[in-house]
Structure 1
Amino acid sequence: MNRPSHKIPHRPGAGRVPEATGDRLPTKGGDDRLVRFLAENTDLSPMQARELIREHGHDREQLLKIARTMKAES
């Protein structure tokens, strides 16, 4: 008799790990709000804003400071 293991999930897809983007798991709601904030308050493109967040974290003040420095250098 084949009895399923008690450790195997019974819901479709329940045993899968969420797909990671890069080397980290996606955050709840994504980074879209922070990306939009940086793009609107600096001259960065959304792609540049995402890269900045990925490299330096989610601290808005630090990201704004770095983004303004990037703007001044270019």
Structure 2
Amino acid sequence: MAEDKNEWLDHHSEREDAIRYLVENTDLSPLQAKELVQEHGADRAKLLEIAKTMKAEG
């Protein structure tokens, strides 16, 4: 059985959709995106504004 590279995501959750969106559209890591969504909710516009001020983990 192939390992799911996105096993940390619940594909039916609005928050998980927001995490995926941030990871795909910013330089944030999945962990950074998850923490941001936990702290600020799933409003993508708000999340993108905040993400612009953050640096990627490295």
Given the two structures, how large is their TM-score scaled by the length of structure 1?
0.53
**Which structure 1 segments of 5+ residues have no match?**
1-27
Number of residue-to-residue matches in the alignment: 44
**Which structure 2 segments of 5+ residues have no match?**
1-10
- For residue 63 of structure 1, the aligned residue among 18, 22, 47 is 47
Give the helix-richer structure, 1 or 2. 2
Using the alignment, how far apart are the partners of 2:44 and 2:29 within structure 1? Answer: 16
Q: Which has the larger radius of gyration?
A: 1
The aligned amino acid for 2:38 is: R
Runs (4+) of structure 1 exceeding 3 A deviation are none
Given the two structures, how large is their TM-score scaled by the length of structure 2?
0.66
Task: For residues 17-68 of structure 1, give each alpha carbon's deviation from its aligned partner in whole angstroms, at most 9, with x where no partner exists.
Answer: xxxxxxxxxxx92332211110011000111101000001111000000001
Give the corresponding residue for 1:42: 26
**Larger relative contact order (Cα-Cα within 8 Å, sequence gap ≥ 6):** 2
Give the corresponding residue for 1:33: 17
